[in-house]
Amino acid sequence: MATSHYLVLSLVLFTLGVVGIVVRRNFITVLMCVELILNAANINFIAFARQLGDLSGQVFAVFVITIAAAEAAIGLGIIVALVRLKRTVNLDQVSVMEG
């Protein structure tokens, strides 16, 4: 099983995540797309760990999963605060800091 297959899959998932962040206006969906991107990064780490015979890639994937969990907690906290203040999850209506 060539590593390139995993890299192509990771590329596709990453692109889907970026497109989702750009296209979607729902804050919750945008956060899901960030998780998609982090999963793509993890696939890369694991593929190269196998290819190079080095476990550091797997350790880094553990760190990525940790950061993803922290990011989800913070992001969903922001959503709850946002809904409490503005009654919306539409990113186009959240323009307080646009100046």
Q: Cα–Cα distance between 68 and 35 in angstroms, integer?
A: 7
Closer of 78 and 98 to other proteins (Cβ): 78
Cβ at position 98, least distance to other proteins in Å: 16
Number of residues that bind other proteins (CB under 8 A): 70
Binding mask 50-69 for other proteins (x = CB under 8 A): xxxxxxx-xx-xxx-xxxxx
Residue whose token pair is 């503005």: 86
Sign of the torsion angle spanned by Cα atoms 34, 36, 37, 39: positive
Binding flag, residue 44, other proteins (CB under 8 A): no
Q: Does the protein bind other proteins through residue 96 (CB under 8 A)?
A: no
| Residue 83 beta carbon to other proteins: minimum distance, rounded to whole angstroms | 5
Residue 53 or residue 99: which is nearer to other proteins going by CB?
53
How far apart are the C-alpha atoms of 82 and 97, rounded to whole Å?
Answer: 13
The one-letter amino acid at 58: Q
Q: Are 63 and 46 in contact (CB under 8 A)?
A: no
